[in-house]
Amino acid sequence: MLTRIGGLLRQAESTDNEHEAEAFLAAAQRLATQSSIDLAVARSHAANREKRATPIQRIIRIGEPGKKGLRTYVQLFLSIAVANDVRCDIARSSAQVHAYGFAADIDACEALYASLVVQMIRASDAYLKSGQYRSELVERLVVEQRGRRRIERVETVPIAGVTARLNFQIAYAIRIGERLAAAKKETEAEVVAAAESSSTAVALRDKAVELKDFYSQTSQARGSWRGAQATVGHSSAARRAGDRAGRAARLGTSPELGGVRGQLPS
């Protein structure tokens, strides 16, 4: 109703015909009276809808500085962001992400992350509790100092729980990113194909160019993020399990989560 009333007001204010203007204004007033809507509210609503969206920067809290395992959570958010046309800078501590994009796209990233990070935590906890990771053995170099002699030997030990968790979550984040990218590609192809002209494809390209320019002008980042994989050992079994969990994860927001949430659970 706000949109209808705002449209009538816009027509009344844009015509040069005095009688048309009075007719549109009268129609707007009748609808406003029937719906108990103030004309000023309707006019403001119409103006806001017509404002051209521009990219913004938003800080997303991932966790508390110093908390272990933040890199895999950042990896998940980045996987989501890439598929939603959002660019990111990562704090040195991995405790927060600086997201650059259109507000609606960043909102979508936060909503998806709020759901998927909980699913990732639950799935990785269940995997560790199952003890399956203990069947995978790795070789570890052990160095001993005996007097002046330095002795090295190789031990075969089970994969550590922390290594299994990190590998599980890395694989989960990668699979989520691949699923979202595929969904995005399919949706964009359908939209462009359904359009009667090339205007949709042009709009998508213009959006990408505008975001690139905004990021270049706004970002203060120096260097590049090393990524979650740079600081952990490898566990093939945990990677496979994380990939399976990523395939099974729900990509819609979950109603029991209570809305958008960016920070890790304590």
Least confident of 109-118, 133-142, 169-178: 133-142
Per-residue CA distances from 198 to 54, 192, 204 (Å): 22, 7, 10
Q: Give, in order, the Cα–Cα distances in Å from 94 to each of 145, 260, 263.
A: 36, 20, 12
pLDDT tens for 21-75 read 777 777 777 766 666 656 566 666 666 665 667 899 999 999 998 888 899 999 9
For the chain, the structural domain boundaries read: 2-50, 56-257
> What is residue 259's predicted lDDT score, i.e. its pLDDT?
38
Lowest-confidence region among 22-36, 215-229, 246-260:
246-260
Name which of 229, 228, 236, 69 is nearest 138 in CA terms: 236
Q: What is the pLDDT of residue 196?
A: 58
Ranking 78-82, 100-104, 134-138, 230-234 by mean pLDDT, the lowest is: 230-234
Q: What is the SS3 assignment for 91? A: coil
Mean pLDDT, the chain, rounded, equals 81
pLDDT above 60 (res 253): no
Q: How many CB atoms lie within 10 A of CB 156?
A: 8
Q: What pLDDT was estimated at residue 51?
A: 61
What pLDDT band is residue 264 in, cutting at 50, 70 and 90? Answer: very low
Q: Is 145 exposed, middle or buried (0-12, 13-18, 19+ CB in 10 A)?
A: exposed
Tokens of 183: 């969904």
pLDDT at 159 over 90: no
List all residues 6 or more positions away from 23 whose beta carbon is below 8 Å from its beta carbon.
12
- Check whether 263 has a pLDDT greater than 80: no
pLDDT, tens digit (0-9, with 9 covering 90-100), for 202-219 = 777 888 899 999 999 999
Residues 92-125 pLDDT 10s? 889 999 999 998 899 999 999 999 999 999 999 9
